[in-house]
Amino acid sequence: MLMAIALLLVVLAFFGAPLFTIILAGALLGFYRNEVDLSVIAIELYRIASTPILLALPLFTFAGYLLAEGNTSKRLVKLTSAFIGWMPSGLAIVAFFTCAFFTAFTGASGVTIVALGALLYPALKQAGYQEKYSLGLVTTSGSLGLLLPPSLPLILFAIIAQQMGYGEQVGIKDLFVAGLLPAFLMLALLTGWSLWYNRNDPIPTESFSFTNIKTSVWAARWEIPLPIFVLGGIYGGFFAVSEAAAVTALYVLVMKVFLYKEIPLKSLPKIMRESMVMVGGILLILGVSLAFTNFLVDAEVPSKLFALIQNNIQSKIGFLLTLNIVLLVLGAILDIFAALVIMVPLILPVAMQYGIHPIHLGIIFLANMQIGYFTPPVGMNLFIASYRFNKSISELYQATIPFMLVLLVALLLITYIPELSLMFVSH
Amino acid sequence: MRKFIHVLHILEDTALVGILVSIIMLAVTQIALRNFQDSGIIWGDSLLRIMVLWIALIGAMVASRTDGHISIDLVSRYLPEKWQHRVQLLAYLFSALVCGITCYYSVVFVYYEFLDGNTAFAAVPAWVCQTIIPFAFAVMSLRFVISAIRHLQDRSPPPVDNPVC
């Protein structure tokens, strides 16, 4: 009976019922079966109001929505090209770095492709890069930067882990540092590959000039302090993560509305509303999945799952390899927030039994999700890019595959060298 | 009815904007007070957390206006049109039912809290802060029912002005 209902829920999810209703129904059924008073569901939802770090979510999201409006993307590209545009394959490297930075702040919701890709794709082609290469570059770069602070999925992973009682090991600050080296590894490998790929094409390089640097720095003078706020503020001990989020939101608001005067005051309510609808969607799913997780733990599902997996896979490496494959597929079909709230509660306890550090798991998880965004046949960024650049999906498959292979190498390195993620983590 | 819906929309939108602005202001004030004066509003942090709950649930209410919730939806787009229609109707009715049940049990929870008489922050009772839970689920349940009815009448689906995913 229970299996039949569970199956029915999965079918309903595949048919497009909102995910929160599916998880909610699962939790309600679970509690009902265990003869727990169903009003416990409201108690679980009220936990949203007892989790201080959640404050960071609406604030960073709002800041990201603001950054996506106006000309921040243009100034960012100008600034980076002034510094590294003179190198061989300069513009490609510029593209990687600006996309990564932009995604860290705006979340990998397709905004990067729409805002930056639209700018970079014609520029790359004009500079003489092959069409296929340029297309692959902007599509894959749409999710690059997911591992860099203050990306929302990083924060969400930490929140879920903390709610499951792994708070000691998974501090947000630690997770933020843990993502740095893996993200730079990805950037480095992509850069190296681009240098090699374009080695025979005489791509005209921009010449280095101090005037260029001066004008672009001056143009981006209000944006440059942003990473300093976020990282410097947090690691300098001036603010907690949620406070850094508040300062960032206020700063970006003042910068966009009053300093750059790019967003008229009257369009602010619309941006606020849109960003908060997104936050509502994420937090509601998080709230109901916390309830569902409690039921899962009560029903000892993670330990049963571990026993089942251990019967088939004994080694840590074998487990990680299987995990990568499962997560890549999931990353392609599931929304990243949905994947986080559904999979982390199941996988985290199992991974811990295999002796994997929860922070390392978080980085592996998100690295997979990042690649999942453009994994054929259904990765979301493939569709966004196809729509935005008016190219067929099959053209995009071909264009992204080399980039995907490079990032898979990075993923393997991140998976099998835990030190990449854990080197700077305090405990 | 139409007027009521219009007023509700304005209220929701205003609440989202108002709460977000209050969150930013209060959070920044707290930081400033702590760093410069070594003080702070005692109940400020509790109020901030409750505002996060409210903004989340009101945001979720607004998302259900326009089919804006995160969903997986892998299969329905490949079904024949007639079946797509039926499946969508089923999804709406299912969502309405689940939200309705949650609304009922949230009312029970709020009532228990009312009897307990706990305070959330300052002199504000906890149950007042929690009323948003049943309210949000009631509104979402109603919206799913309305979407189902619209769907049955074969009117065009609600405009998607906020694609969440």
CA dist A13 → A151, A198, A365, B121 (Å): 27, 44, 22, 39
Q: Which residues of A touch B99 (CB under 8 A)?
A: 21, 24
Interfacial A residues in 178-237 facing B (CB < 8 Å): none
pLDDT higher than 90, residue B85: no
Mean pLDDT of all residues belonging to chain A: 89
Q: Name the residue in chain B with its Cα closest to that of A18.
A: B71
Q: Measured between CB atoms, which of A19, A54, A250 is closest to B72? A: A19
Say whether B27 and A246 touch across the interface (CB within 8 A).
Answer: yes
Whether pLDDT at A298 is above 90: no
Q: What's the token pair of residue A299?
A: 């029903």
| Residue A124 confidence (pLDDT) above 80 | yes
Closest approach of B115 to chain A, Cα-based (Å): 15
**Which ipTM did the prediction report?**
0.89
- Average pLDDT value for residue range A122-140: 90
**Quick check: B95 contacting A, CB < 8 Å?**
yes
Residue A350 in this model has a pLDDT that exceeds 70: yes
Give the nearest chain A residue to B47 (CA atoms): A49
In this predicted structure, the answer to whether residue B157 has a pLDDT above a threshold of 60 is no
pLDDT on residue A371 = 94
Between A340 and A295, residue with greater pLDDT: A340
Percent of chain B scoring above 70 in pLDDT: 93
Written as one letter, the residue type at B134 is P
* Burial class of residue A348, CB neighbours in 10 A (0-12, 13-18, 19+): buried
Position with higher pLDDT, B11 vs A228: B11
pLDDT for the residue A409 = 97
Is the pLDDT confidence value at B165 over 50? Answer: no
Give mean pLDDT, residues B109-121.
90
- Residues of B with CB below 8 A from A12's CB? 90-91, 94
Give residue A427's pLDDT.
60
**Average confidence (pLDDT) over A111-132:** 87
What would the DSSP string read from start to end of B18-29? HHHHHHHHHHHH
Q: Which residue carries 């929870």 as its tokens?
A: B109
Q: Per-residue pLDDT for B155 more than 70?
A: no
Residues with Cβ within 8 Å of residue B37, at least 6 apart in sequence: none
B164 — pLDDT class (breaks 50, 70, 90): very low
Scan residues 21-60 of B and list those with Cβ closer than 8 Å to A: 21, 23-24, 27-28, 30-31, 35, 45, 48-50, 52-53, 55-60
Q: CA end-to-end span of chain A, whole Å?
A: 45
